[in-house]
Chains A and B, each alone.
Chain A
């Protein structure tokens, strides 16, 4: 089977997997089942039961539990007094230890029921992802059927007062769309009453929305089923994920240490609101627009026959052709390492662009190039680029696809193999351009042992000293991104380089002005405006 056939099969398989992933999502979340409640006095002696517990609620997990990643985020129980309350409300609960013999069941302890009261329970399964679309857009929840009615027993800990907590006052609630939001969240703010003793925490419930959901827990995160603000806090603020649309209402329950929760008045009906522009990032947009405008301005000037765009000499880039010539004279190959990071890293992209030009030079000089790669996709792209370079040089027959090989995605395995290539094949020229980490010095030192000419370039600050110490030429940061334009001398690329230089000059000017302002007038309105609106993006 040829490589081309394998590629077709691989892409087709990927497309099938992607299509399957898009279509095989469950339409609705499966609810927990078989909710059963029993007083703790019925439990066997010797079981580890929390002192305040009165009732044990057990249930069978949702059929969608553990299907996919984070499908069911958590389970939240609610209760009501049988024959008294119509609406299920939150209560103080604790998750019981899972029974390894029954992995499909889970249990909760009711920690604030009143002894002698009759309760029934439901369990909500809250999911992280929306089942209607591929991407996340808010929580989705499903509720079980009600359990049997149970009479709560007295707490196991006889010292606990089992009577109802009095004077628990509800909070005041408001909900609004957050600023600069994508339309998938609502900000809920509650003004808390002066903290009376006996309040265990708060639980936020939501109802309505575009699917007219019944009242259910607002959070899919079990840690936020019971909200406990800081001591003395007078407000409680939370951001809740929501599906796009209108009609959400929130209710905040104040949960006492013992007894029934007290609900606040529902918030006003609110809907999500998606922003079309984040004004905090306009400063970045201005810089981007400036770079674009300068690029096209310099390009127009060059195309109109103006003077050539000047860029300073970069000795490392000038040395590339000389180094390739040296390799040709010695009859040894050129080694090109495009870094160890993924193809989406801009350093790898810059390196691949340079690889095309280097491989064209190598083909013209009729020598060999070896390209060991750490990432399979980089190897695939690199092989195409090298092939294209040989074609452009008019030497398609000289290209050997096996010279561009994927070694290993593990950092030091790749480093060891590349060292092996250097020690066996003894390349006369080593070119290290791209993103490197700890293996940079090992590669450079091994190349030094071989007495190869080494040209390195990376934007990783921590690796530059190693390359400077061990290599003949080192391209620092931005010089790596200039190599392609420098080698081609194409007006389009040079104009873009020039535009980046002008933006750099602007940055230097802002730095000088900002430093002067920070020293001379640190509290002035101008300094504050510079810091808030120019130097930060609000994230």
Chain B
């Protein structure tokens, strides 16, 4: 029963969702819509568990003064403060305290992390673009052509139309590979979905 009941729920829900794609009848769409609403409610309820998880993980570390416990105290304190600000001010005055927290703390830090991406791209490119073998040389050459082609200087170079070559590489060579991976991934996703819906895949339920 411990594995049968979840498998039954999975099969019924999965079958309904698959049928909904083929059957336009509004009655079936109502049922599936209700299931999606349930899913949204369950997802929202999981945030309560997530909040409990955050406290469960960090408060014992603060109490035991483990390494970097100060940062965890800042995490817990700011989470509680932001939650209170959101509950109270979020609806009454969205541009007040809650908005100030978002604009002053969250947005700049988010932008900072995103900006780090540029430096990580540079270091990864420096490591990856080495002409070790034929494939790596081809990749390096294509990367150089595309990088020059997307910049304004690519249009000014007289002896080779980098923009046209860049466009050809992106539209034909790159697109072909992209679509091949997409088709394979799509079929793999369908196969995985069928495995889970039909109950062939049971690793998430544990062994019998």
Inter-chain contact B42/A377, CB cutoff 8 Å: yes
B117 touches A380 (CB 8 A): no
Encode contact with B along A500-529: 1 for CB under 8 Å, 0 otherwise.
100110010000000000000000000000
Q: Are B191 and A481 in contact (CB under 8 A)?
A: yes
Please state if A392 and B207 are interface contacts (CB–CB under 8 Å): yes
The smallest C-beta distance from B57 to any residue of chain A, in angstroms, reads 5
**A17 to B47 alpha-carbon distance, docked (Å):** 15
A288 to B45, CA, bound (A): 34
The bracket for how many chain B residues form the interface is: 35 or more
Contact of B204 among A184, A352, A415, A497 (CB under 8 A): A352
Known: A376-B50, A442-B120. A135 touches B24 (CB 8 A): no
Judge whether A477 and B184 touch: CB under 8 Å. Answer: yes
In contact, B124 and A441 (Cβ under 8 angstroms): yes
Q: Does B181 contact A (CB under 8 A)?
A: yes
Chain B 27-78 residues near chain A, CB threshold 8 A: 27, 29-30, 33-34, 37-39, 41-50, 52-54, 56-57, 60, 67-68
- Contact indicator A275/B120 (Cβ below 8 Å): no
In the complex, whether B113 has a CB less than 8 A from a CB of chain A is yes
Q: Given A469-B124, A477-B185, A493-B195 in contact, is the A288-B25 Cβ separation under 8 Å?
A: no
Shortest Cβ distance from B92 into chain A, in angstroms? 16
Bound-state CA distance A357–B127 (Å) is 32
A376-B53, A441-B121, A482-B188 known; A342-B203 Cβ under 8 A = no
Residues of chain A in range 60-88 having any CB-CB distance to chain B below 8 Å: none
Say if the beta carbon of B172 comes within 8 Å of chain A: no
B48 contacts A10, CB within 8 Å? yes
Chain B neighbourhood of A385, CB < 8 A:
203-204
Q: CA of A133 to CA of B204 in the docked complex: distance in angstroms?
A: 36
Assess whether B110 is interfacial by the CB under 8 Å rule: yes
**B22 contacts which chain A residues (CB < 8 A)?**
277-278, 281, 284-285
The chain A residue with its CB closest to the CB of B39 is: A344
Which residue of chain B has the shortest Cβ distance to A461 in the bound complex?
A: B178
B33 smallest CB distance to A (angstroms):
5
Q: Which listed residue, A3, A14, A180, touches B52 by the CB 8 Å rule?
A: A3
- Residues on A with beta carbons closer than 8 Å to the beta carbon of B114: 412, 438
Task: Tell me which of A353, A438, A466, A507 contacts B183 (CB under 8 A).
Answer: A507
B170 touches A (CB below 8 Å): no
Report B-chain residues with C-beta under 8 Å of the C-beta of A450.
none
A31-39, A190-198, A402-410 - the one binding chain B? A402-410
Asked if A424 is an interface residue, CB under 8 A from chain B, the answer is: yes
In the complex with contacts A6-B48, A470-B124, A504-B183 CB distance below 8 A? yes
A139 to B60, CA, bound (A): 54
Give the distance in Å from the alpha carbon of A284 to the alpha carbon of B114 in the complex.
Answer: 39
Instruction: Tell me whether B125 is interfacial, beta carbon within 8 Å.
Output: yes
Do residues B56 and A402 form an inter-chain contact, with CB atoms below 8 A?
yes
Contact between chains at B23 and A11 (CB < 8 Å): no
B206 at the A interface (CB under 8 A)? yes
Pair B183/A11 contact, Cβ less than 8 Å: no
Q: Does A244 contact B (CB under 8 A)?
A: yes
Residue of B nearest to A504 (CB): B187
Q: How far is the CB of B118 from chain A (nearest CB, A)?
A: 10
Q: State in angstroms the CA–CA spacing of A133 and B205 once bound together.
A: 36
Q: Is the beta-carbon distance between B187 and A503 smaller than 8 angstroms? A: yes
| Most A-side CB within 10 Å, residue of B29, B39, B184, B191 | B191
Set A11, A469, A500: member contacting B191, Cβ < 8 A: A500
B46 A377 Cβ-Cβ under 8 A:
yes
Chain B at the A interface: SS class: helix
Is the pair A442, B113 in contact by a Cβ cutoff of 8 Å? yes
* Size of the chain A interface, CB-CB below 8 angstroms: 97
- Of the residues A244, A384, A402, A459, contact of B26 by C-beta under 8 Å: A244
Among B49, B68, B121, B189, contact of A380 (Cβ-Cβ < 8 Å): B49
Q: Does B182 reach chain A (CB closer than 8 Å)?
A: yes
Interface assignment of A134: CB less than 8 Å from any CB of chain B: yes
A284, B21: Cα distance in complex, Å? 10
CA distance A412 to B124 in the complex (A): 19
Q: Quick check: A438 and B25 within 8 Å, CB to CB?
A: no
Hey, what's the 0/1 contact readout for A358-387 against B, CB within 8 Å counting as 1? Answer: 000000000000000001110111001100
- A244-B26, A402-B56, A481-B191 known; A353 and B207 CB under 8 Å? no
Interface residues of B in 122-175 (CB under 8 A from A): 123-125, 127-128
Query: Is A182 among interface residues, defined by CB-CB distance under 8 A?
Result: yes
Separation of A477 and B177 alpha carbons in the complex (Å): 12
Q: A10 and B206: CB pair below 8 A? A: no
Bound-state CA distance A416–B113 (Å) is 7
Tell me whether B30 and A133 are in contact (CB under 8 A): yes
A412-B50 in contact given A17-B41, A445-B124 (Cβ < 8 Å): no
List chain B residues, Cβ under 8 A from A278.
22-24
Within the complex, what minimum Cβ distance (angstroms) separates A453 from chain B?
A: 16
Bound Cα distance from A500 to B186, whole angstroms: 10
Say yes or no for B97: interface residue by CB 8 A criterion.
no
Residue in contact with B182 in the complex, picked from A401, A402, A406, A461, CB distance below 8 Å: A461
The answer to whether A445 touches B204, judged by C-beta atoms less than 8 angstroms apart, is no
Contact of A6 with B52 at beta-carbon distance under 8 Å, contacts A477-B184, A478-B188 already known = yes
The 3 A-B residue pairs with the shortest CB-CB distance, nearest first, are A376-B50, A481-B188, A477-B185
Q: Which residues on B are within 8 Å of A, measured CB to CB? A: 18, 21-27, 29-30, 33-34, 37-39, 41-50, 52-54, 56-57, 60, 67-68, 106, 109-110, 113-114, 116-117, 120-121, 123-125, 127-128, 178, 181-185, 187-196, 198, 200-201, 203-207
Additional pairs, 20, CB under 8 Å, beyond known A181-B24, A496-B194, A504-B187: A6-B52, A134-B34, A182-B24, A182-B26, A182-B29, A274-B27, A295-B198, A295-B200, A353-B203, A376-B43, A405-B57, A412-B109, A412-B110, A424-B68, A438-B117, A442-B120, A477-B182, A477-B185, A484-B203, A500-B187
Q: Would you list 13 pairs from A and B whose C-beta atoms are within 8 A, ordered by A residue?
A: A21-B37, A134-B30, A134-B37, A343-B43, A349-B193, A405-B54, A442-B117, A444-B124, A461-B178, A469-B124, A469-B127, A470-B128, A477-B182
